[in-house]
Amino acid sequence: MITRRHVVAGAGALTAVTMAGNRSAIAQGVPAGYPAVYGELVDKAVKEGAVSIYTSTDDVQGRPLVEAFRVAFPGIRVDYNDLGTNGAYNRVISEAAAKQVGSDIVWTSAMDLQMVLVSKGQAETYKSPEAAQLPAWANFNDQLYATSVEPVAIMYNKSMLGALKPPQTRAELIAFLQANKDALKGKVASFDPEKSGSGFLFFNNDARTTSDTWELVRAFGGTDPKVYGSSGAMREKIASGEHWIAFNLIGSYAIEWAKKNSNLGVVLPPDHAAAFSRVANISKGAPHPAAARVFLDFLLSQRGQTAMAASGAPSIRTDVSEGLNIAKLNEMAGGKLKPIPVSAALLEASDPKTRAAFFQKWKQALRG
Amino acid sequence: MRPTESIAMSLANDAPRFRAGVILALFVMVAAPALLVIYQSVLDAPFFDDNVRFSLDAFRFVLTDPEFYRALWTTTLYAFGMVVVAVPLGGLLAFLITRTDLKGRKWLEPIVLVPMFLSSIVLAFGYTVSVGPSGFVTIAFKSLFGAAPWSIYTLPGIILIGGLSHVPTVYLYVASAMRRLPSDLEEAARTAGAGIWRVSLDVTLPMVLPALVFSAALNLLLGFETFGIPLVLGDPNGILVLTTYIYKVNTIFGAPTYQVMAAVTVFLILITLPLVFIQRRLLRHARRFAAVGGKGARTNLLRLGSTGQAVALGLIGLWLLVSVFFPVGGIVLRAFVENWGEGVRLTEQLTLANFKAVFEIPSLSRGILNTILLAGVGGAIAVAFYLLVGLAGHRNRGRSGTLLDYSVLIPRALPGLIVGLTFFWLFLFVPFLIPLRATLISLLIAYIIVGLSYGLRIIQSTLLQVAPELEESARITGASVYRSWRDVVIPLVRPGLAGAWAMIMIVFLREYATGVYLMSSGTEVIGSLMVSLLTSGAMDQIAALSFISIALTAVGLTLALRLGAKLHD
C-alpha cells in the first residue's frame, strides 16, 4: 500500500527532476485528450504565475494535490488558503463587494454555501475538458463541480464496545441506541448541525431522503448525546475511549484512521450510504483566470484525483485506482451509494425558514 | 503654590500637538472596529450588500432567542465563578510569595505566572488529554482508587479550570500591592502575639483589599470575554457562553449573519464597558491606597515556621500540579503520540510524525516563522507605538488624556475574533489600507489594538517610575519637552522597555482569535492556524503546534526574565 508520505516523497522527487530537466511547462501541460489549443491556456496560466485557492480542506489533506499540481505545472505557484467553509464564503462575498477578488478557485465541502455563491453570480462558467469523465449530478451548469465522493459512516472503539455488537446498518444503529440507552450514556457522538455546515448538510439530507431520521435523532437524544463540529474531534474522543461510537462522520477520514489504529472500526451502512462532495468553482473576476481553469481541470483530472484519493478524499472518477473511488464505494454500500447531487435544491438548505424548521425538529427530537 | 507644582502644570500642557495627534490616531484605530460593529448590528444584511437596509431584526432575534439568555446566564455564572476561584487563591499565593519567608519563592514566581502565558485554547486541549474522561491522569487515578469523581466538561469543571488559569492575573495585581506595603503593621501584630493567619486576615488583607477588588473586577471582565476554554470544553455538551454563542450564530443560519454577530457583540460591549469603568476607578484608588508605604519602608518577611512552610509549599505544589502540569503535560504527551486514552499503551505510540507533518507542510512551518516574526519584530514595533501613546498620555491632564482613557477601554470590550473580522473589512474597503491586507502588517495592527490595554499598562507604569523632578530639571535648564523625553525619560526607562518588549512578545505568541479572519496564504500564525485546523479536526497538528507554541513562550519568558522584565508593576 502506498501511504500519503510515500506519495509526498515521490512528488518531491519528481519536482526535483522536473526542475532540473525539462523546464517547458507547455510540453507536459497539455494532457492527453485535451484540445490542442489547451497549450495556449497553460501558456497564459504560466504567465499569470499563480493560482489562489480558498478552501476548507486543511493543509495536511490538501498538500498531495498541491504537490502534484506543482509537478505538473512548475510555473504556477499555488497560494493555498484553508479558511474553513464559512471563512471562505465570508471572504469571497466581502472581496466581491470590495471589488478586490482574491480567489481563483473556491473549493469547500459546504455544498449549500457554494451553491449560494453560484446563485449570487460569484462563479464563472467554464466547461472543463474533464467534465465528460464525471457523473451528470456532479456538474451544475459548468459552474460548480463535485470533486470527491465522501460517504458518511459509523465509527466505533472496538475495545470499549466490548461485548456490544456494533451496528452494521442504519436500522441496526437505531435499535442499538435504543436497546443500550443506559450503557451508552454520554458515549455516543455525532456532527453538530448547528455549528457545522457539513453536519447540517448530512442531517438535513437525511431528513429529506430517509423516513427514519427523526427516529434516529430521538434514539441519539436518549443517550445524553455529544455533538462536535468536526470528524477529527470525534476521532480523538472515540480513539481515547471517551466516546464509544459516532455516526454521520466523514467516512473517508474514518477509513484512513482505522487503517492506522486497529482499535477503530468503521461501518458504511449499506441502507444509508449518503455521500457529500467537496465542490469547486472558479471565482467571477478571478485574478488569474487561466491558472484557475488549469487548476480546476487538474483537480478533476485523473492525476489530481489520484493525489486527493491518496490523502483520503475518494475520487469521483471510476478510473482512479489510488485509495477509494465512487465505484468501489458504491460496491461497499451494496450498490446503494447516494451522493448528494450538485443542484439548485441545495439552496433550500440555506433558506432561513428551512433551517429554522429543521432546528426546531432537531431540538425536539434530541429531547427524546 | 510650590514652584514644582506650577512647573508640573506647565509640563502638562507641553507638546499639545504631538499628544493630540498620537491620541487621535489611536482613537481612530480603536473606534473604527467598534463603530463598524455597531453599524453592522442595525442592518439587515452585510454592510457591503447592495440591498442593505436599516433594521433592528438582529436585536429582535437575539432578544427572543432562549439560547442567548442561556448563554448570558452561563457567562455570568462563569465570570463570577472564576472570580470566586481565582481571587482567594491568587491573593493567598501573593501573600505567601511576597510577605512570608516561603522557601524557593524567587523561582516560584515565574512558574506561578505560567498559565497566564498559555493561550486558553492550548490549555483546554491539554486538560482533555490529562484529566478528560480518558485522560492519563484520570486513568491512573481510576486504576488506583477505582473511580475518578470529576468531569471537566460540566459547567463547574469549566469554571474551575477557567478560574485556576486566571490565578496569575490576580497574583500580579495583589503581589504588586503587597510589595508596596510597609511591614511595620504586620510586625506589630506579630509582636503582639497574633498568629500568621490572624495577621494575614486582619492586617494584610484589609490593606490590599482595593487590589483584590480590582483584580476581581478585571477577572469578571475577562470572564465575559472568555472564548478558548468554553469552546473546547463546553461546546460538545452544549454549554454556551456569549463568545461561543457569537461563533455559533455565524453558522446556524447557513450563511454568516454578521448583523446577529454584531448585535451580540454590542450586548457584550454594553456589559463590559461598565466593568471597565469600575475597574479603572478602582485602579486609581488602589494606586493611591497602596502608595501609603512610600519607598523607604523596608519589608520584613513573616516567618512561616516549618509546618507553615510545608502547608504552603504543599498548597502551591497542588495548584501547580493542576494548573501547570496537567495542561502542559497533556499537550506534551499528545504532541508525541497519535493515539491515547483507555487501553492505549503510550510507549507503543511515541512518534515524531506530528512534528514532521508540521514541518513538511509549507503553511504550518511558515506559520511558525510568521509567529516568531510577528512576536519579535512586531512586538518591538508595538512597544514603540505604546511608548508614543504612553508619552502622549504621560503627565497629561488635558482633554486628550481623557480621550486616551476612553480609547484604551474600547478594545477591552471587543472579542479578538470580532476585532480580526472588522480589521479584515477595514483593510478590504478602506482604499489606502488595501495594499497592506495580505501582509503581516494588517495582523500587526490588529494585534497592537488587542494588546493595547495590557501593553500600555506596562509602559505607563514604567514611565511613572521616572521621578517628575528629573524631567522638570531638564525643562528648567531649557530643554524642550521632546528633548526631555529623548534625553531623560527614554534612556531611564530603556531597561523597562526591553522587559515590556518580551512581555508583549509573549502576548502576541499566545493570541489566536484575532488572526482567524485576517490571515491568508503567506501570513499564517500559529494560534489562528490551530483554530482553522480545529474546524477540520486535525488534532495531530494542533497538538504539535501547541507544543511549539509552549516552547516559544518558554523562550520568550526566559528572555523576558533575562531582560529584567518586571512581571509585576
Q: What is the pTM of this model?
A: 0.85
Q: Judge if A126 and A247 occupy the same domain.
A: no
Chain A CB contacts of B534 below 8 Å: 229-230, 233
**Whether residue B380 sits in one domain with residue B253:** no
- Look at residue B57 and tell me if it is in a domain: no
Residues 524-553 of B with CB under 8 A from A: 532-541
Measured CA to CA, the distance from residue A256 to residue B326 in angstroms comes to 30
One domain for residues B434 and B495: yes
Same domain, A218 and A362: yes
Q: Are residues B186 and B228 in the same domain?
A: yes
Best probe of the A interface among B61, B249, B251, B422, by most A CBs < 10 A, is B251
pLDDT in tens, B217-272: 888 888 988 888 998 899 878 899 998 898 888 777 777 788 999 999 999 888 88
Same-domain check for residues B377 and B332? no
| Cβ contact, residue pair A233, B236, below 8 Å | yes
Residues 225-264 of B with CB under 8 A from A: 235-238, 247-248, 250-256
Contact between residue A308 and residue A315 where contact means Cβ atoms under 8 Å apart = yes
Tell me how many domains chain B contains: 2
- Asked if the interface predicted TM-score (ipTM) of this complex is over 0.85, the answer is no
* Same domain (yes/no): B475, B550: yes
Scan for cell 530643554, then name that residue.
B479
Query: Any idea which of A29-38, A237-246, A320-329 has the lowest mean pLDDT?
Result: A29-38
Question: What does each C-alpha distance from B549 to A144, B249, B510 come to in angstroms?
Answer: 39, 30, 8
**Does any CB of chain B come closer than 8 Å to the CB of residue A84?**
yes
Enumerate residues 371 to 390 of chain B having a beta carbon within 8 A of any beta carbon in chain A.
none
Asked whether the predicted pLDDT for residue A268 surpasses 90, the reply is no
Same-domain pairing of A43 and A139 = yes
In this complex, is the C-beta atom of B150 within 8 Å of any C-beta atom belonging to chain A?
A: no
* Predicted local distance difference test score (pLDDT) of residue B291: 37
CATH code of A308's domain? 3.40.190.10
> Residues near A28 by Cβ (< 8 Å), separated by ≥ 6?
A18, A22, A72
What pLDDT does A264 receive?
A: 94
Q: How many angstroms away from the CA of B503 is the closest CA of chain A?
A: 30
Do B371 and B236 reside in the same domain of the chain?
no
Q: For residue B378, what is the domain's CATH number?
A: 1.10.3720.10
Domain check: are A219 and A271 in the same one? Answer: yes
Verify that A50 and A135 share a domain, yes or no.
yes
Q: What is the pLDDT of residue A348?
A: 83
Given B312, B345, B378, which residue is the final one in a domain?
A: B345
Query: Is some CB atom of chain B closer than 8 A to the CB atom of A56?
Result: yes
C-alpha A186/C-alpha A178 separation (Å) is: 14
List C-alpha distances in Å: B6 to B11, B478, B483.
Answer: 8, 16, 20
Mean pLDDT, rounded, for A83-102:
90
* Nearest CB to A194 within list B134, B251, B361: B251
Based on the domain organization, do A77 and A90 belong to the same domain? yes
In order of A91, A293, B295, B508, B520, the CA distances from A81 in angstroms are 11, 18, 55, 22, 6
Give residue for cell 495556449: A40
Residues 6+ apart with CB under 8 A from A292: A51, A104, A105, A124, A282, A283, A286
Residue B213 lies in a domain: yes
CB atoms within 10 A of CB B518: 24
B322 and B402 in a single domain? The answer is no
Helix, strand, coil shares, percent, chain B, to 5: 80, 0, 20
Same domain, A180 and A257: yes
Q: What local confidence, expressed as pLDDT, does residue B361 receive?
A: 87
Give the nearest chain B residue to A108 (CA atoms): B536
Chain-chain contact of B521 with A195 (C-beta, under 8 angstroms): no
Q: Are residues A140 and A171 in the same domain?
A: no
Q: Are residues A248 and A185 in the same domain?
A: yes
The C-alpha of B3 sits at a distance from chain A's nearest C-alpha, in angstroms, of 58
Q: Which of residues 411-430 of B touch A (CB under 8 A)?
A: 424-425, 428-429
Contact criterion met (CB below 8 Å) for A324 and A336: no
Give dist(CA A319, CA A302) in Å, integer: 7
Residues A134, A146 contacting (CB under 8 angstroms): yes
Same-domain check for residues A85 and A132 = yes
In a domain, A337, yes or no: no
Q: Is A83 on the interface with B (CB under 8 A)?
A: yes
Which pLDDT score is estimated for A23? Answer: 41
Length of chain A: 368
CB pairs under 8 A between A and B: 163
**Do residue B332 and residue B419 come from a single domain?**
no
Interface touch A229/B133, C-beta < 8 Å: no
Residue of B197, B175, B177 lying closest to B186 (CA atoms): B197
Residue-level pLDDT at A6: 47
Residue in A84, A90, A228 closest to B236 by CB: A228
| Per-position b or e across A112-123, b if 16+ CB within 10 A of its CB | bbbbbbbeeebb
Number of compact structural domains in chain A: 2
Q: Which domain holds residue B122?
A: 68-345
User: Which residue type is seen at B476?
Assistant: I
Distance from C-alpha of B439 to C-alpha of A112, rounded to nearest angstrom: 31
The pLDDT of residue B13 is 56
Structure confidence at residue A136 (pLDDT): 95
Residue B566, pLDDT score: 61
Residue A76 and residue A223 share a domain? no
Å between A13 CA and nearest CA of chain B: 14
What does the mean pLDDT of chain A come to?
Answer: 88
Examine the domain organization and report whether B339 and B359 are in the same domain: no
Q: Of B287, B319, B345, at which residue does a domain stop? A: B345
Predicted confidence at residue B506, as pLDDT, reads 86
Residue B36 in any domain: the answer is: no
Interface contact flag, B538 A8, Cβ < 8 Å: no
- B336 and B362 fall within a common domain: no
And the C-alpha cell for B536? Answer: 477540520
Q: Are residues A144 and A27 in the same domain?
A: yes
Residues B393 and B310 in one domain: no
Quick one: pLDDT at residue B289?
Answer: 43
| Residue B261 sits in the same domain as residue B180 | yes
pLDDT at B299 (0 to 100): 62
pLDDT at A19 over 80: no
What is the domain extent for residue A73? Answer: 4-149+277-332
- Chain A contact set for B250 (CB, 8 A): 86
Q: Which residues of chain B have pLDDT under 70?
A: 1-13, 280, 282-300, 397, 564-569
- What are φ and ψ of residue A51, in 5° steps? -140, 135
Check if the beta carbon of residue B74 is closer than 8 Å to that of residue B239. yes
Q: What is residue A83's predicted lDDT score, i.e. its pLDDT?
A: 87
Nearest to B340 among A58, A240, A355 (CB): A240
Of the three residues B330, B345, B360, the one that is the final residue of a domain is: B345
Q: Is residue B381 in a domain?
A: yes
Residue at A230 is within a domain: yes
Of A95, A230, A355, the CB nearest to B537: A230
Confidence of residue A145 (pLDDT cuts 50, 70, 90): very high
